[in-house]
Amino acid sequence: MAVLKKIWETYKELILYVFFGGCTTLVNMIAYAVCYYPLGISNLSSTLIAWALGVAFAFVTNKLWVFESKSMQRSVLLRELGSFVGCRAATGLLDVAIMYVCVDLLHWNGLLMKAVSNVLVIILNFIASKLVIFTNRKK
């Protein structure tokens, strides 16, 4: 039990980030499926709605539980939200650019490149959240 406690204490932030990242993926996929199939919303609109809901869910879970940024001051919330959405939009564009160049132009394997791109995006999102976005932690 002591070993598990030590692992939790050492990697808590990373474990929670991965867990809530999985939950965010589920939110995104379910939102897309509901919008696209029964509601008949276009693919692009369904994708954008799903992205927005996923980012909103990720912001709340990252703020409160992963990075424990406790400040609810309006100025702090707006700064964190703005930088969070901005960083997620930037890494989303990076993902699109990687996929376009590597798959459409270079004709590399799409699934392999999507996996590589996702790993890069996840790492960059974690670094941005930890070092830039949630800097008023536990306050």
- Supply the pLDDT for residue 82: 97
Q: pLDDT (tens digit, 0 to 9) for every residue of the chain, 139 residues total?
A: 899 999 999 999 999 999 999 999 999 999 999 999 999 999 999 999 999 999 999 999 999 999 999 999 999 999 999 999 999 999 999 999 999 999 999 999 999 999 999 999 999 999 999 999 998 765 5
Q: What share of the chain is helix, strand, coil (3-state, %, to 5)?
A: 85, 0, 15
**Range 36-64 burial, b when 16+ CB lie within 10 A, else e:** beeeebeeeebbebbbebbbebbbebbbe
Matching residue, tokens 């692992």: 7
- Supply the pLDDT for residue 136: 72
- Supply the pLDDT for residue 1: 87
Q: What is the pTM of this model?
A: 0.89
- Supply the pLDDT for residue 122: 93
Question: How far is the CA of 58 from the CAs of 17, 54, 67, 85, in angstroms?
Answer: 9, 6, 11, 10
Are 120 and 90 in contact by the 8 Å Cβ rule? The answer is no
Supply the DSSP string of 14-43, one letter for each residue: HHHHHHHHHHHHHHHHHHHHHHHTTS---H
